[in-house]
Amino acid sequence: MSNQRRTTQQSPSPLSPFQDNNVLTEDQWITLASIVDTIISPETQSIGEITKEAQFKSAVDAIKHHAAVEDEALLSEYLAESATSCPGFREAIHRFLVEQVDSGGKKELLGVLDALTNSRTSWLLTGHLTPFAQLTLRQRERVIQSWATARLQVFRVLFRSFTDMAKAYWTRTSPTLGRVLSYPYTPINHNYGPGFDFPFIVFPPLPYGSTLVPATFETDVLIIGSGCTGSVAASVLARSGLEVLVAEKGYHWKPNHLPMTEKEGMAHLFANGGVTLSDTGKMAILAGSCFGGGGTVNWSASLQLQPFVRQEFARKHDLPYFESSAFQHDMDAVCETMGVGTSGIKHNPGNQILLDGAKKLSMKAKPVPQNTAGEAHACGYCTLGCGSCGKKGPTESWLPDAARHGAKFVEGFQCEKIIFADDKTTKGNKIAIGAQGIWTSRDENSGVSGQVYRRPITVYARRAVVTAAGALGGTALLLQRSGIQNPHLGKHLKLHPVNTLFGVFDKDIMPWEGGILTSVVDEYENINSTGYGCKLEGVSMLPGMALPLMQWKSGLEWKVHAAKFKRMAGWISLARDKGEGEVYADPTDKYRVRVKYDTAKSDQKNIAVGLVALAKIAFVEGAREIHVGVAGVPPFIRRQSVKTYTSAIDASQTGENNGVAAGINDPSFLQWLSRLELFTVNGLPADASQCSAHQMGTARMGSSPTNSVVNSRGAVWNTRGLYVADTSVLPAASGVNPMITGMAVARGIARSIVEDLGLPPTQEAPKSKL
């Protein structure tokens, strides 16, 4: 198929019709609206009680300066905008409550809203006998501000929950923010790639009134999951001559739909409508859930597993494969297929700042190899899908190769359970013979927003069943629903917790442009030779993803802060976590994953080491403001007189040796930095929240059923014909973006399946092409 690019109008990807289900009573909505309209507040000069004249003028001047907006009407509209005045905001909040919040969290939230609606109980939360919605705007603002620093944790949780909600959904629905920032919600004049025409199986609807008989399908190998790992397994197994069916819960979106807007993309491309929250609400987890899985929404980073981690996997967990030449060959092979390299990289300002600052401070740093076949890929929107097909993820490499070798595909398949034969092996092992689930069609327009129909499906697999449904419960919960009993199933969850740091500069950065993650500082990846530490990397800088990570202080301050976004660069401190968590099924919904995870103190300290380093990099590169994503830490604001030098000696050579131009040795900066440095000793504050885009370990590999779920070949203990081939099997955190590690392991497991079935070795897959 031709690789020719074409420019065309982007196709819409509307959401399915929203079913309110009366999740909120009218009184509850009025109270919730009063909360979010305090956080994203209407600010006008004409209402004296709301904003003093001097404050308002200062805000207007700051927005004009940072956003270069001279349109007075736009400025007034932006400042006067409240959260609920934004078209789509109320629907977004209701979708969030219905589709994303688990039953326990929803009950707690509604209870708080009821308490704030009642005069007697409102007093306990606000100090006022008047219901919250009847307070003045400034009274409401002071209440919310008081929650942030309250002694009791319940108030701090309320502050985080409501401010995060308001910031996220205002940023994605505001009709003015994009205009203030000159931010296009999808790329302008985007070159769409041709894509690949996948042969999806479609099951016809049953005649009206028919008995709901499952449709059946037979294949040699069933692979559940189409992401980075499932796609590699599909290619290897199809190349061996096996009939392969890849079944995916999500849907395939052709290039002309990508990248989506943040509103559409979070719903269509990610698990749980965008974000899965841990039970405490302190960990926000991003996981792909679409055809191509995480490979459709990741940031192209293609780092191989470090030698010291390979050694730990091999020796501590008795898995010699990870120190073998076979594993190295598996990593090299997956990189070769996707054209992984650094030759096409053109760093955007944020990634260049990371490299330049690290060099000035003698920190070890390097470009991050990209899976872009050696071509430049300046797409800051790629976390919402790659319309150019420049990112050679599953849908541009492994899945097309599998299709060319006869593989077939099903989308919209929610797998309920794996089915086993009535008989067992002579050793008493259960024999996997397929899977059952519910298939949901597309609508009449080949989308998912119209009328659809559902059918129960049974897939029979003659040779093997492979689950690659993901470490965020996809695989673990499926195995549990299928009757697999193992004390390690769902346990040992690793998340690579991250905290963020943002710099505001004196020039436009346009952070949504260019490659997302093309540089890394790995100076601190192996602190004190423990095997644990942190990496410093770039982060997706789309407003709806990055702005909600920043702290809220007041409604007016937030509007000013958001308007600075075009001059911001952002980075993450990512820890290789020694601590671990657990996934389990929601008691009211067997398909909804719940997460128990609290970042271990040692991992918090390592994250803090990275934040200190990032602050130094931002400062030495001239950041005017430095904002840390840790609750309670104020931003650093550089005085106009402070210039950037790395030492007092550098300053003296300019004739400005007055202690003000001493670079990272500037007294005001060091005083501010000392607060961050305390976290490297004591750990982060109790209310510090983290994010994660990497999930590993919930069906880990090991040497026996007493320490693992699968053996070194990926086979589930005490079964035959059942394998796990995703990052669930990693015995500990990888410490690098896990795509290459996961793909390599999946390739190794797929080779083992071929060998177990008595087939000759599979030929190598060619370099990525459509």
Contact yes or no for 542/297 (Cβ under 8 A): no
- Measured in degrees and rounded to the nearest 5, phi and psi for residue 569 equal -125, 150
Instruction: Report the C-alpha gap between 692 and 582 in whole angstroms.
Output: 14
Q: Return the beta strands (E) in 597-686 as ranges.
A: 625-628, 636-637
Contact yes or no for 477/493 (Cβ under 8 A): no
DSSP 737-748: -THHHHHHHHHH
Instruction: Report the C-alpha gap between 38 and 31 in whole angstroms.
Output: 11
Six token digits for residue 304: 């191989």
Instruction: Report the C-alpha gap between 612 and 674 in whole angstroms.
Output: 9
Instruction: Report the C-alpha gap between 468 and 418 in whole angstroms.
Output: 13
Contact yes or no for 765/333 (Cβ under 8 A): yes
For CA atoms 465, 471, 473, 477, the dihedral sign is positive
Contact yes or no for 513/380 (Cβ under 8 A): yes
Contact yes or no for 509/622 (Cβ under 8 A): no
* 658 CB burial (10 A radius; 0-12, 13-18, 19+): exposed
Nearest to 93 by CA among 156, 24, 38, 45: 24
Contact yes or no for 638/621 (Cβ under 8 A): no
**Angle at the Cα of 516 (from 198 to 395), degrees rounded to 5?**
10
- Please compute, for residue 475, the number of CA atoms within 13 A of its CA located in the half-sphere on the CB side: 38
**DSSP 3-state of 627:** strand
Nearest to 515 by CA among 355, 675, 743: 355
Six token digits for residue 110: 């509604």
The most distant pair of C-alpha atoms in the chain lies apart, rounded to whole Å, by: 89
Which helix (H) or strand (E) element contains residue 435?
strand 430-440
Contact yes or no for 489/709 (Cβ under 8 A): yes
Which listed residue (94, 347, 377, 694) is catalytic? 694
Q: SS3 letters for 446-490?
A: CCCCCCCCEEEEEEEEEEEEEECCCCCCHHHHHHHHCCCCCCCCC
Instruction: Report the C-alpha gap between 326 and 329 in whole angstroms.
Output: 5
Six token digits for residue 405: 């070798």
- Burial state string for 416-435 with b = 16 or more CB within 10 A and e = fewer than 16: bbbbbeeeeeeeebbbbbbb
Q: Provide the CA 93 distance to its chain's centre, in angstroms.
A: 20
- Burial state string for 44-63 with b = 16 or more CB within 10 A and e = fewer than 16: ebeeeebbeeeebeebbebb
Instruction: Report the C-alpha gap between 157 and 147 in whole angstroms.
Output: 8
Instruction: Report the C-alpha gap between 344 and 346 in whole angstroms.
Output: 7
**Angle at the Cα of 252 (from 239 to 469), degrees rounded to 5?**
65
Question: Which CA distances in Å does 186 have to 13, 88, 149, 260, 380?
Answer: 12, 18, 38, 7, 10
**DSSP 3-state of 375:** coil
Contact yes or no for 498/529 (Cβ under 8 A): no
The question of whether 561 is a catalytic residue gets the answer: no
β 722-724/454-467 pair status: parallel
Six token digits for residue 484: 């697999």
Q: Which residues are catalytic?
A: 694
